[in-house]
């Protein structure tokens, strides 16, 4: 049978043995539909009995038209950052409760993905952030974030102080526990728990959300996706900058963190009839009676 995707990569949650059976079942189903199935090397090393050809994520980026991620939203975040430069479409299968990004259940995955191979899906393009840290004239760290870039005070009990500029224009000097710079995807993560707004996934916007600011008038602000944000450390303590709570780098006084929209988008595929507002109602328990 002809399908829209000739080569599909399977990527399982790291060190999750229970993913083996559904991953192998899905791979065999795809092969029965005439699809070339590959897997990433970490999955191959942790899933017993999975004998599909194994490749690095970078090789998968160059080879596959579609990557199916079996795990949760955290697994999808990690994979999305790596595959973003290659334009590979992503589909998420959740092994537990459905997530914001992994919205296909294991129980229904064969029927759902079979329909998607025939073109019955909804495409959603989502932005990422790229950030880098300068210490004087030296660039010490650079990375991508699907959810957010967070400057945080670390483990000390004292607040940090930093100056914020947008497109070179002074915005404020803030004393707080930190600052979250979030994509629309990340607006329902750490930013939401800190009082930030929910941004519709397709919007080209960035949310800046203070974490426990010293002054109550320091409120979240939403800015255009073409903005360049500078966060200049004034009093740093043992503060750090985090990328999706995954990678981090220690900050010192005088360091400057730059954040802007990454030039490429993540392409997520959802089942036909996908409704973001339904996901919000389910995950945030809207419209429930208590």
223 burial type by CB count under 10 A (0-12 exposed, 13-18 middle, 19+ buried): middle
73 carries an active-site annotation:
yes
Alpha-carbon span 21 to 49, nearest angstrom: 9
132 SS3 class? strand
Selected catalytic residue, list 73, 103, 148, 255: 73
Alpha-carbon span 233 to 254, nearest angstrom: 5
Q: Which two tokens stand for residue 5?
A: 């995707």
Residue 166: enclosing H or E segment and its boundaries? strand 160-166
Judge whether 91 and 67 are in contact, CB under 8 Å.
yes
Taking the chain, what is the end-to-end CA distance rounded to the nearest angstrom? Answer: 49
Which sequence positions are flagged as catalytic? 73
């Amino acid at each position: 049978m002809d399908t829209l995707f000739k080569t599909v990569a399977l990527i399982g949650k790291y060190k999750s043995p229970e993913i083996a059976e559904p991953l192998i079942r899905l791979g065999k189903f795809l092969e029965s539909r005439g699809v070339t199935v590959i897997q990433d090397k970490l999955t191959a090393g942790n899933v017993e009995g999975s004998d599909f050809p194994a490749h690095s994520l970078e090789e998968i980026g160059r080879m596959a038209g579609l990557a199916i991620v079996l795990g949760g939203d955290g697994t999808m975040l990690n994979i999305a950052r790596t595959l973003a430069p290659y334009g590979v479409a992503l589909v998420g299968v959740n092994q537990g409760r459905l997530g914001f990004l992994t919205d296909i259940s294991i129980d229904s995955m064969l029927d759902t993905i079979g329909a998607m191979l025939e073109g019955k899906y909804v495409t959603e393009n989502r932005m990422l952030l790229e950030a880098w840290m300068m210490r004087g004239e030296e660039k010490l760290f650079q990375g991508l974030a699907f959810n957010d870039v967070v400057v945080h005070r670390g483990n000390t009990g004292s607040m940090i102080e930093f100056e914020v500029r947008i497109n070179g224009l002074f915005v404020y000097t803030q004393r707080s526990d930190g600052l979250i710079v979030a994509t629309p995807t990340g607006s329902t993560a750490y930013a939401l728990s800190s009082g930030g707004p929910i941004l519709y996934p397709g919007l080209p916007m960035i949310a800046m959300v203070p974490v426990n600011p010293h002054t109550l008038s320091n409120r979240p602000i939403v800015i255009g996706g073409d903005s360049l944000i500078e966060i200049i450390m004034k009093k740093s303590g043992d503060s750090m900058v985090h990328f999706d709570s995954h990678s981090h780098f220690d900050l010192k006084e005088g360091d400057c963190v730059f954040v802007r929209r990454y030039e490429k988008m993540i392409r997520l595929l959802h089942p036909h009839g996908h409704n973001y507002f339904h996901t919000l109602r389910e995950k945030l328990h809207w419209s429930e009676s208590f």
